[in-house]
Copies of this chain bind each other. A is one copy, B any other.
Amino acid sequence: MSRSRPYHHGDLRAALLESAERTLREKGVASLSLRELARETGVSHAAPGRHFKDKRALLDALALAGYDRLARALEGADDPSLPLQPRLTALARVYLAFAAENAELLALMYARKHEPGAAEQMAAGVDRTVGVFDRVIADAQRRGEIVEADPERLTLFTGAALHGIAGFTVGGILDPAEALGMTDDLIHHLLHGLRPR
């Protein structure tokens, strides 16, 4: 955008990714074609092959960028000085908002098939996202706010609750706004359980 009509195209890679993410958001993965992407970007249909070995390589790049944005958002919203419940609620809100705004992208991020080379990077993205919750659980356990069980398992369970709700919104079973509206309740039930006290 800064330069007017740069030589050859300028940063085709970035342009393709940007266009791809818009298509993903507006029309879904199913109607994401490299050829149409090339058309939209005003470049020959073979040009994307220069920057992405594969269609999947492009999708992987998209997913990786998604992890970066999600992790950044979670890290930015984490306030370690807060008590467990409000701290976790804030993070849950960020996660569910991300899921609502990036449903198709999230599905891509959690997809099982990735380019062999991208697998480690993808795992790193997962780890970074999970890491935020790891710290919350660890801190809470240190402060005695949480039960003395395997912290890894507690993180997994917390993540599952969030991921499950997000999955319902992605699948259209639950309205995204509704999901966001029950965040407080969700975290409450997560912490206090379904059994009466």
Q: Hey, which bits of chain A sit against chain B, CB under 8 A?
A: 28, 30, 103, 110-113, 126, 140, 144-149, 153-154, 156-165, 167-168, 170-174, 182, 185-186, 189-197
Contacts and interface: CB of A to CB of B under 8 A. Distances in A.
B147 A168 contact: no
Instruction: Count identical subunits in the complex.
Output: 2
A162 B164 CA distance: 7
A160 to B, nearest CB: 3
Contacts of A191: 193-195
Q: Which of A144, A171, A182 has the most chain B CB atoms inside 10 A of its CB?
A: A171
The dominant DSSP class at the A interface is helix
Contacts of A167: 110, 160, 163-164, 167
Contacts of A146: 194-196
Contact of A144 (B103, B144, B162, B196): B196
A93 B80 CA distance: 36
Contacts of A164: 159-165, 167
B196 A193 contact: no
A148 B174 CA distance: 22
18 contacts: A28-B113, A30-B113, A110-B170, A112-B172, A144-B196, A145-B195, A147-B193, A149-B185, A153-B185, A153-B189, A156-B174, A157-B161, A158-B194, A162-B164, A163-B163, A163-B168, A191-B195, A192-B193
